[in-house]
Amino acid sequence: KAAPPPEEAAPAVCEEPKSDGPVKEKSVLGGCLSVVVLGASGDLAKKKTFPAIFNLYKQGFLPDELHIFGYARSKLSNEELHEKLRGYLKTDRTDPSKGPEDAIKQFFNKVTYIQGAYDEDEGYVKLNEEVSRHEHERSDDGTPTRRLFYLALPPTVYPVASKRIQKHCMNQRGWTRVIVEKPFGKDLESSDELSSELGALFTEDQLYRIDHYLGKELVQNLLVMRFANRFFVPIWNRDNIASVQIVFKEDFGTEGRGGYFDQYGIIRDIIQNHLVQVLCLVAMEKPVSLDPEHIRDEKVKVLQCIQPIKDEDVVIGQYEGYKDDPTVPKDSFTPTFASVVLRINNERWDGVPFIMKAGKALDSRKAEIRVQFKDAPGDIFKCKKQGRNEFVMRLQPKEAMYMKLTVKEPGLDMKTTQSELDMSYHQRYQDIVIPEAYERLLLDTIRGDQQHFVRRDELRVAWEIFTPLLHRIDAGKLKVMSYKEGSRGPDEADDLNARVGYQRT
Ligand code: NDP
Ligand code: BG6
C-alpha cells in the first residue's frame, strides 16, 4: 500500500520551526515545483535521482506543475537523456490502469535537458530562463514557486556550480533548496573549506547534505524502537550491552568506480558517513522532541563523546584483485575493508566497544546493527555454550529485526538452544512496498524537513573523529592486510572483534 498523498499526510502550508537564525521560508506543498539535476548525464542521476523523482511522481506525491531540468556538459538531446534513464525507471508501483509505458511517457514529458558548463555563466542564464518560463506557464504570477537543485556532481564542482546557482538561478517567488551529495570533503580541513564556500552562498536551511542511509526504513525505525518501547529503554546501556557492531558488506568490488574510490577508501566512503549516522541513532540520548534540530543536537553530543581512535583498534585491508581495475594505480594501498572500534566516553556507553566494519568484495551484501548483551548472571543450566542475547536490525537486504534468545530445546530433556524472535518485514508487512531511501529524502527536502540530513556541525565532528586516523593511513603508517574476494575479510578483523569481547553466536 502506498502512503497517502501529501495533501492528506500534512497540511497544505506549514510554517517551518522558528529559530534565531535567518528568516525561514515557507514550505508550500502544492504548486509549481522545478527540480534541477546538475550532472544529469552521470551515474547517480540515472541510478538514483531520476528513479526517485519518477517513483514519487507516479505515486502522486509530486504536483502536476512539476518540471525536471537535467543539466550537464554532455551533448545530449531530450530523447537521448530519456533513453539513458528509461532502463532505470521501474513501473511495478505504477497505477495498473494506465500501463507502465504511459507512466514513463507522462514523466518524460516533464524532463528537459539543458546543456551547459558548470563554471560559466551562460548555461545558468539559460537554465534560469527555462525554469522561469515553466513557472510563468504553470502558476499565477502571485503564487509561490519552488526550486530544488540536486548536485549529482563530483564535489570538486560544487563551489563553481553553487556560485552560479546563487548568481543566476535563485527563486524570487518562493524557496530555493540545494541537495549536496557525499563525500563532503576528504578530511576536516577540506570539509571545513567546502562548508565555508557553501555556507557563504546558502543558509543552513537551504542546504540539504544527503546521507542516503538516513532514508533507509530500519534506520528511520531506530528512534521509534529505542524511545517508544519500554522493553528497550532500561536495558540500552553499559550495564546490559557488551558490544555494538555496525556492519556494511558488499559482495562486489569497486565496479567501474575505482577511480573515485581509490582517492577515498572505505572509511571515507562508508564509515565516516553512513555508519557514523547509524551509530548516532543507536547511541544518542533521547531528543527533547522530534524537531530536526533537537535530534541533530543529540547526534552532535554523542559524536563529541567519541574518543580518539587508537591504531590497535583498527584493521584495514584490500582485496586481492582490486588493483586489476585499470582506473586504480598499481601501487595503491587504499583500504577496501576496515574495522574500527569506537569508544564513547559517557555515562551510558563507557566501556562498550562500537565496532564499525565495512568492506567491498566480501562474502555477502548486507548492512546490519548487532547489539550484543552481556551474559545472564548466575548460570544454572550449566550448558556448554549458552549463547548471548543479540538484537539484530538488518537494514538490507530483506529488512528484519530479530532477537537471539536461549530457549529450552523442545523435547523431554532440559537442554538449551539458541532461537530467534523474528520480525521479518516481508512477512509482517506483505502488502507494503518499502520506499527507496532517495525517494524519502527527496520528499523530505520538498517538505522542508531536515531531520534526515546532516547538519554542518555534525559533519565537522564526524571528520574530527576520523581525520587523524585517515592521515596515518594515507601516510602508510598502518599495515594493509590482504583478503580474498568473496571472503569475510582479513582474519585480523575477527581477532579484533574477539579482543574487544564480541562473541560469535
Ligand atoms: P559521475 O562521475 O558520474 O559524475 C556526474 C556528472 O558530472 C558526469 O556525468 C559529468 O557530466 C560530470 N563530471 C564528471 N566529472 C567531472 C569533472 N571532473 N568536472 C566537471 N564535471 C564532471 O558521478 P556520480 O553520478 O557517480 O556521482 C555524483 C555525486 O554523487 C558524487 O559526489 C558522488 O560521490 C556521489 N555519490 C554517487 C553514488 C553513485 O552510486 N554513483 C553513490 C553516493 C554518492 P558532464 O560531463 O556531462 O557534465
Ligand atoms: C555509497 C557508496 O554511498 O553507498 C558506495 O559510495 C556504496 O560505494 C553505496 O556502494 C551503498 O549503498 P547501499 O544503499 O546499496 O547500501
ipTM value for the complex: 0.95
Of the segments 20-29, 51-60, 241-250, which one has the largest average pLDDT value? 241-250
Kindly report the protein residue whose alpha carbon is nearest to atom 2 of ligand 2: 269
Among all bound ligands, the one having the nearest atom to the CA of 261 is: 2
Tell which one of 269, 271, 362 to mutate to probe ligand 2, the residue whose CB is within 8 A of the most ligand atoms. 269
CA of 211 to the centre of ligand 2 (A): 10
The sign of the torsion formed by the CA atoms of 469, 470, 471, 473 equals: positive
What pTM was computed for the model?
0.92
Beta bridge partners of 390: 372, 404
CA of 114 to the centre of ligand 1 (A): 17
Helices 276-283 and 292-304, interaxial angle, to 10°?
A: 100
C-beta separation of 56 from 148 below 8 A: no
Q: Is 269 in the pocket of ligand 1 (CB under 6 A)?
A: no
Taking CB atoms and a 6 Å cutoff, what residues make up the pocket around ligand 2?
212, 250, 269, 367
d(CA 280, CA 462): 10
Tell which one of 113, 151, 153, 186 to mutate to probe ligand 1, the residue whose CB is within 8 A of the most ligand atoms. 153
CA of 26 to the centre of ligand 2 (A): 33
C-beta separation of 308 from 446 below 8 A: no
pLDDT at 22: 37
Alpha helices in 5-72 (DSSP H): 6-9, 43-44, 50-58
Mean pLDDT of all residues in 43-58:
95
Q: Of all residues in the chain, what percent carry a pLDDT higher than 70? A: 91
CA of 502 to the centre of ligand 1 (A): 39
Chain mean position to CA 476: 29
pLDDT at 486: 97
Q: Of all residues in the chain, what percent carry a pLDDT higher than 90? A: 81
With vertex at residue 75, the alpha carbon angle to CA 70 and CA 80, rounded to the nearest 5 degrees, is 65
* pLDDT bucket at 215, cuts 50 / 70 / 90: very high
Look over the chain and give the mean of its residue pLDDT values, rounded to a whole number: 91
Q: Is 259 in the pocket of ligand 1 (CB under 6 A)?
A: no
Please determine, for residue 456, whether its predicted confidence score (pLDDT) is greater than 70.
Answer: yes
CA of 278 to the centre of ligand 2 (A): 14
Mean pLDDT of all residues in 326-338:
95
* pLDDT bucket at 342, cuts 50 / 70 / 90: very high
Among all bound ligands, the one having the nearest atom to the CA of 365 is: 2
* pLDDT bucket at 29, cuts 50 / 70 / 90: low
C-beta separation of 303 from 276 below 8 A: yes
Mean pLDDT of all residues in 187-194:
96
C-beta separation of 460 from 303 below 8 A: no
Q: Is 450 exposed, middle or buried (0-12, 13-18, 19+ CB in 10 A)?
A: buried
pLDDT at 431: 86
Among all bound ligands, the one having the nearest atom to the CA of 219 is: 2
Kindly report the protein residue whose alpha carbon is nearest to atom 37 of ligand 1: 44
Any idea which of 35-49, 383-397, 462-476 has the lowest mean pLDDT?
383-397
Which is higher by pLDDT, 331 or 141? 331
pLDDT at 96: 54
pLDDT at 4: 38
Mean pLDDT of all residues in 319-334:
94
Q: Is 202 in the pocket of ligand 1 (CB under 6 A)?
A: no
Among all bound ligands, the one having the nearest atom to the CA of 249 is: 2
Kind of pairing, strands 416-424 and 400-408? antiparallel
pLDDT tens profile 301-318: 999 999 999 999 999 999
Which is higher by pLDDT, 126 or 96? 126
pLDDT at 17: 38
C-beta separation of 222 from 333 below 8 A: no
Tell which one of 37, 38, 43, 113 to mutate to probe ligand 1, the residue whose CB is within 8 A of the most ligand atoms. 43
Question: Which residues lie closer than 8 Å to 193 by C-beta, 6 or more apart?
Answer: 185
Q: Is 73 in the pocket of ligand 1 (CB under 6 A)?
A: yes
pLDDT at 472: 98
Known catalytic residues?
274
Which is higher by pLDDT, 260 or 240? 240
Q: How is residue 440 written as a grid cell?
A: 524519502
Mean pLDDT of all residues in 442-458:
95
Please determine, for residue 200, whether its predicted confidence score (pLDDT) is greater than 60.
Answer: yes
Q: What is the DSSP string of 389-428?
A: -EEEEEEESS-EEEEEEEEEPSSSS--EEEEEEEEEHHHH
CA of 310 to the centre of ligand 2 (A): 26
Alpha helices in 113-202 (DSSP H): 121-138, 158-168, 188-201
